Amino acid sequence: MQKIQAEDRRVVNIYKDDFKPFGAVATPSSHESALQINAHKQLGVGFHVYRMKPGTTTTPHEHTQDEEFLVLEGELTDNDGYVYKTGDLVWLKKGTQHSSHSEHGALLAVYIGAAEKNLT
């Protein structure tokens, strides 16, 4: 077995590395941020860790592919009132439309296959 070359591995730490401003609108939000391992993909596409500061509400959007996420910390409430809590592993079907709010903040591990469609 061959040794993995330095240029073939990237490691980031969700507690030590800088998150980048993130949002589904043209101007990124200071209340939403992401840490993404694959620099070859658009921020928020593929696997990433997404942070919502307390009081954040996401822009209403539609998923162009299935979304999967794990709530690592905190909780968030979808526009239909459903509350996702720490430890919840969630799948939302392609075509799902929603926005989420986090009263106290949240940290999610997310996989989205393609960019979301902004509904505003």
What confidence score (pLDDT) does residue 38 get? 85
Structural element, H or E, at residue 111: strand 106-112
Structure tokens at 99: 């926005």
Calpha distance 25→74 (Å, rounded): 24
SS3 66: coil
| Among 24-33, 75-84, 89-98, the least confident range | 24-33
Supply the pTM of this predicted model: 0.86
Residue range 11-44, pLDDT digits in tens: 889 888 888 887 654 555 678 888 988 878 888 8
pLDDT at 96: 93
The three-state DSSP-derived secondary structure of 30-47 is EEEEEEECCCCCCCCCEE
| Cβ contact 80:22 at 8 Å | no
pLDDT bucket at 115, cuts 50 / 70 / 90? confident
All domains of the chain in start order, with CATH: 12-118 (2.60.120.10)
